[in-house]
């Protein structure tokens, strides 16, 4: 394969939303728990056989390791991966238009196009929402900080 073709193949793989999301997910999860679903981390305790109980215990321990923001981020990543599978990734949840490719590269978990996100943030600022909300800007900052490490 020519050098240009290999570079283009690497670039397209590196820009693939699924690859980007899986890389972010991998960085959030400790190495031993890559296969654990964030939904399992948020779930309550269920009774079952010994294997189920051991798995539940491992999930609870992992949950203690992850902070609230990381759990929300993992859930958002799983939702984005589901959207990719369903063919809905990159569609604004407010207006139904395609979210710009540049925005998705900068904020892979974006649910809204830039216009709708701006409107939502203005509304939230007027309503005085709490700082705890996971906004695109906070997520973008967190992702940039992770990339620097």
Please check whether residue 40 lies inside any domain of the structure.
Answer: no
Distances (CA, A) of 101 to 25, 90, 110, 146: 20, 8, 11, 21
27: confidence class by pLDDT, cuts 50, 70, 90: confident
The total domain count for the chain is 1
| pLDDT, tens digit (0-9, with 9 covering 90-100), for 115-144 | 999 999 999 888 764 544 555 566 665 556
Domain extent, residue 86, equals 3-29+66-148
Please check whether residue 52 lies inside any domain of the structure.
Answer: no
Please check whether residue 95 lies inside any domain of the structure.
Answer: yes
Please check whether residue 50 lies inside any domain of the structure.
Answer: no
pLDDT of residue 53: 78
CATH number for 134:
1.20.120.910
Please check whether residue 13 lies inside any domain of the structure.
Answer: yes
Q: Are the beta carbons of 137 and 118 closer than 8 angstroms?
A: no
């Amino acid at each position: 394969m020519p050098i240009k073709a290999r570079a283009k193949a690497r670039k397209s793989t590196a820009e693939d939303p699924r690859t980007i999301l899986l890389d972010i997910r991998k960085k959030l999860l400790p190495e031993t728990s890559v296969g654990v679903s964030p939904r399992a981390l948020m779930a309550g305790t269920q009774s079952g056989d010994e294997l189920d109980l051991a798995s539940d215990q491992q999930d609870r321990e992992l949950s203690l390791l992850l902070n609230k923001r990381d759990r929300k981020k993992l859930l958002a990543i799983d939702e984005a991966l589901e959207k990719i599978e369903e063919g809905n990734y990159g569609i604004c949840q407010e207006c139904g238009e395609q979210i710009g490719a540049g925005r998705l590269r900068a904020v892979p978990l974006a649910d809204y196009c830039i216009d709708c996100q701006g409107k939502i943030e203005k509304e939230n600022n007027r309503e005085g929402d709490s700082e705890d909300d996971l906004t695109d800007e906070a997520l973008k900052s967190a992702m940039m900080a992770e990339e620097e490490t």
